[in-house]
Amino acid sequence: MKSYRIALIPGDGIGKEVVPAGRQVLEALAGTESGFQMEFESFDWGGDAYRKHGEMMPANGLDALRGKDAILFGSAGDPDIPDHITLWGLRLKICQGLDQYANVRPTRILPGIDAPLKRCRPEDLNWVIVRENTEGEYSGAGGRVHQGFPIEVATDLSVMTRAGVERIQRYAFKLAQSRPRKLLTVVTKSNAQRHAMVMWDDVAREVAKDFPDVACDKEMVDAMTARMVNRPASLDTIVATNLHADILSDLAAALAGSLGIGPTANINPERVYPSMFEPIHGSAFDIMGKGIANPVGTFWTAAMMLDHLGEAAAAARLMQAVEQVTANPALHTRDLGGTATTAQVTEAVCAAITSSRPLATA
């Protein structure tokens, strides 16, 4: 029987509640006739580690992750620690250190979810946003000079390499090609940013030649926000820079009903390093410890992880169980207007898994 080594990094806030819930559903799945096992190792990195040891994760932390098949991550963020420390000390360190350059965020309106766009039918909103995940606006290049003096200067340099742009565009075209509509929208801002973003457009045009069956269009990021709201059905696969896609994918999650539902995969497509899977939401300290965090984003994330591991049938079985549960308003958490708890939703998904018949292996 196949056995997968999975690193669990709950992190901060509700990450500590939704990652154990994710483990519970994965154990329920592996316990059915899925034909695989999972060996979990948990890492208590995050804000508490920072308070104790002065760092979010140990300096050699990546070594412990390299031998894993995948990583299930919760969130990083702590009200007492500046956000740039929690982000750079953990999540970005892992994404950049393990070259997880493709950040993939599917968005759909799941059954039973009352999404905010009144004229949008569930079948009108079925997107995947591909975000460049290792450079661009979040390259980390820049600095502060004359700190604290009136003449202080601060820069954040957006770095785009032709290799970095080409590999993410190629990944997005391939993904678009694998989806029924074969439609890719390249998000840009090359009217105002006349160097790197123009190269971004040039590379998209070049890569497009290798994918003649993919219909491709270009949209400025500002116009893109309006198009997502006004013409959701005109979109399918979307590729954007690190910053642009960060913002657009939060909008996408909100349009699908809640930040608590969406999943994210940080993929190293060449599989030299493990990929990392996390719900789209953050640490949500306002609801931490109350047992009301929506675990659906983590379950969908776990399904993406299973797909990546080659367990397509188990992934489909998990999504079927999740959709069965979201279809029942009595099992909605507070973010969806309900009163269900994290534990109740998790138990319902586990029950739906064990009572479902295994799907045919893909």
Q: Which residues bind ligand ATP (CB under 6 A)?
A: 14, 75, 77, 259-260, 281-287, 293-294, 297, 333, 335
Minimum distance between the CB of residue 229 and ligand ATP, rounded to whole angstroms? 19
Which CB atom, from 160 or from 349, has the smaller least distance to ligand ATP?
A: 349
Shortest distance, position 41 Cβ to ligand ATP, whole Å = 23
To ligand ATP, the closest distance from the beta carbon of 288 in angstroms equals 9
Burial 57-79 (b: 16+ CB within 10 A, else e): beeebeeebeebbbbbbbbbbbe
In total, the chain counts a number of residues equal to 362
Alpha-carbon gap, residue 314 to 106, rounded angstroms: 18
DSSP string covering 234-276: G-SEEEE-HHHHHHHHHHHHHHTT-TTT-EEEEE-TT-SS-EE
Query: Least distance in Å: CB of 11 to ligand ATP?
Result: 9
Q: Cα–Cα distance between 278 and 302 in angstroms, integer?
A: 8
Looking at beta carbons only, is 47 or 269 nearer to ligand ATP?
47
Closer residue to ligand ATP, CB minimum distance, 237 or 326: 326
Residue 162: its H or E element? helix 162-178
Neighbours of 309 (CB within 10 A): 18
Smallest separation (angstroms) from ligand ATP to the CB of 293:
4
Kindly tell me which of 113 and 284 has the beta carbon lying closer to ligand ATP. 284
* Cβ closest to ligand ATP, residue 106 vs residue 282: 282
Q: Single out the residue of 35, 239, 39, 34 nearest to residue 129, CA to CA.
A: 239
Radius of gyration of the chain (CA): 20
CA distance 276 to 267: 7
Structural contact between residues 74 and 43, judged by C-beta atoms closer than 8 angstroms: no
For ligand ATP, the closer of residues 21 and 315 by Cβ is: 21
26 CB neighbour count, 10 Å cutoff: 25
Q: How far is the CB of 119 from ligand ATP (least distance, A)?
A: 25
Q: How far is the CB of 117 from ligand ATP (least distance, A)?
A: 18
State in angstroms the smallest separation of the CB of 138 from ligand ATP: 14
133 versus 333: smaller Cβ distance to ligand ATP: 333
Bridge partner list, 154: 144
User: What minimum distance in Å lies between the beta carbon of 8 and ligand ATP?
Assistant: 17
**CB closest to ligand ATP, residue no:** 282
Whose Cβ is closer to ligand ATP: residue 75's or residue 346's?
Answer: 75
- Identity of the residue, 172 or 349, whose beta carbon is nearer to ligand ATP in the bound complex: 349
Residues 6+ apart with CB under 8 A from 346: 21, 24, 25, 295
Of 96 and 264, nearer to ligand ATP (C-beta) is: 264
Residue 284 CA to chain centroid, in angstroms?
16
DSSP state of 90: I
Minimum gap (Å) between residue 360 Cβ and ligand ATP:
32
DSSP string, 292-338: ----HHHHHHHHHHHHHHT-HHHHHHHHHHHHHHHT-GGG--GGGT-
